[in-house]
């Protein structure tokens, strides 16, 4: 094998011509398969002849196993085209590739592809299925997070600032100032898909003022998407640390939307939900600030809000649009049940803080009425699941139609006689 050329571009792996592993060299003296990483960061088409070469050559390979007839695959394709050059240009480059799994059935079988599209990230040859967002921007954010270290070690103010800037706003960040890496390594691995983790070993007092802590060790949580920040001083053992991390993955008051509903599934707390007419008007904004104060004092509950104008379908099970007064408070189990405190669920004009306090006191005393939706809450199924359900129904109808066409004509005739 000829030696790999080394020039001034050696730090940019996208410009390298990679060869396959020794296993390919042992295949009867045949010419080894070659895989050339594209210089322009475009999406690569792979097949059974060069797939393993690509896996061996690229540290991080993101593969779309697709089928030509798949509508979801067709919609995904331009998103991958948009994301590919951005991913290729990262400090830890990711190559995007596509495989026609309908045609190349050996690859489909080897990697357990049973639906389309199936997305997998190959990390130094080890595949992991990707189930995150498929929108180009969020896809880049998610994959950039997945290829980062579980815990980054930061050794200067400049490194800390760079870490925060490069992390962006897609995920919460945790920075352990004076925290031993071993204390959070477990959580860095466990919550890798959900947050950035780091430890800071050297930093100035100026930075302590920026992140508003006055002693160490301190674990600072940042949620740039919601402009939130909090500090944990310990203890760094038992369940205390993980409780803080889990609770910090969500904003203090959660705006209920398709994204946050999915996030709530991973939290075992019940949700104190404020149902509003419009969550963006001035009155609602004042109420949300009061909810924030209640959330800071009741960490065993999640506090969320949703506007009828923003997501009417979600709010329908919680109130009768003709007779129910808004705003309204309920305690939702994130499934089919919720609880109301009779006489206290509707918030009147005035001191919302006192009304919420009385509601919580009655809830904790068990003075609630449990209600069910009477049907499984549709929003929790998610849009993708609904698409799948509709597709299955359509397939069943088509099969029944063609099955009927293959039978004798007397069957429909008999149906008319009944």
Cite the active site residues: 70, 73
Enumerate long-range contacts of 68-74, CB under 8 Å, 24 or more apart: 68/100, 68/102, 69/102, 70/116, 70/117, 72/116, 72/117, 72/387, 73/116, 73/117
**Pairing assessment for the beta strands 34-36 and 253-255 based on DSSP bridges:** unpaired
Taking the C-alpha atoms of residue 206 and residue 210, their distance in angstroms, rounded to an integer, is: 6
Q: Helix, strand or coil for residue 284?
A: helix
Q: What is the DSSP string of 399-417?
A: HHHHHHHTS-THHHHHHHH
Taking the C-alpha atoms of residue 376 and residue 379, their distance in angstroms, rounded to an integer, is: 9
Residues contacting residue 232 through CB under 8 Å, at least 6 positions apart:
218, 219, 220, 221, 241, 244
E strands, 201-264, in order: 218-223, 228-232, 253-255
Cβ(172)–Cβ(164) under 8 Å? Answer: no
Closest CA to 90 of 150, 52, 134, 146: 146
Q: How many angstroms separate the first and last alpha carbons of the chain? A: 79
Rounded to 5 degrees, φ, ψ at 229 are -150, 140
Cβ(98)–Cβ(44) under 8 Å? Answer: yes
35 beta partners:
18
């Amino acid at each position: 094998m000829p030696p790999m050329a080394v020039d001034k571009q050696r730090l940019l792996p996208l410009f390298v011509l990679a060869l396959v592993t020794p296993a390919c060299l042992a295949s009867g003296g045949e010419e080894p398969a070659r895989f050339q990483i594209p210089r322009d960061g475009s999406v690569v088409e792979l097949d059974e002849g060069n797939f393993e070469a690509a896996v061996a050559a690229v540290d991080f390979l993101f593969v779309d196993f697709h089928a030509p007839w798949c509508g979801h695959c067709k919609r995904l394709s331009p998103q991958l085209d948009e994301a590919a050059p951005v991913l290729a240009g990262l400090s830890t480059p990711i190559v995007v590739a596509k495989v026609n799994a309908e045609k190349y059935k050996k690859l489909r079988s080897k990697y357990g592809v049973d639906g389309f599209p199936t997305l997998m990230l190959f990390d130094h040859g080890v595949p992991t299925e990707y189930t995150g967002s498929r929108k180009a921007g969020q896809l880049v954010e998610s994959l950039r997070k997945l290829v980062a270290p579980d815990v980054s070690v930061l050794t200067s103010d400049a490194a800390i600032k760079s870490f925060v800037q490069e992390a962006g706003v897609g995920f919460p960040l945790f920075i352990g100032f004076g925290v031993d890496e071993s204390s959070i390594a477990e959580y860095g691995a466990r919550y890798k898909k959900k947050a950035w983790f780091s430890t800071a070993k050297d930093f100035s007092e100026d930075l302590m003022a920026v992140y508003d802590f006055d002693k160490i060790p301190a674990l600072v949580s940042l949620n740039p998407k919601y402009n939130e920040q909090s500090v944990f001083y310990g203890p760094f053992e038992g369940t205390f640390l993980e409780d803080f991390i889990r609770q910090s993955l969500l904003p203090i008051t959660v705006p209920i939307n398709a994204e946050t509903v999915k996030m709530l599934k991973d939290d075992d707390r019940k949700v104190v939900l404020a149902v509003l007419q419009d969550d963006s008007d001035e009155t609602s904004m004042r109420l949300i600030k009061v909810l924030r104060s209640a959330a800071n004092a009741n960490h065993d509950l999640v506090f969320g809000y949703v506007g009828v104008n923003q997501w009417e379908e979600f709010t329908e099970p919680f109130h009768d649009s003709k007779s129910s007064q808004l705003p309204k408070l309920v305690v939702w189990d994130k499934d089919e049940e919720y609880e109301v405190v009779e006489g206290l669920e509707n918030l009147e004009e005035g001191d919302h803080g006192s009304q919420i306090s009385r509601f919580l006191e009655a809830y904790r005393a068990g003075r609630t009425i449990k209600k069910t939706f009477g049907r499984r809450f549709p929003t929790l199924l998610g849009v993708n699941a609904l698409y799948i359900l509709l597709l299955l129904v359509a397939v069943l109808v088509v099969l029944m139609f063609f099955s009927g066409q293959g039978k004798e004509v007397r069957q429909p005739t008999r149906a008319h006689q009944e």
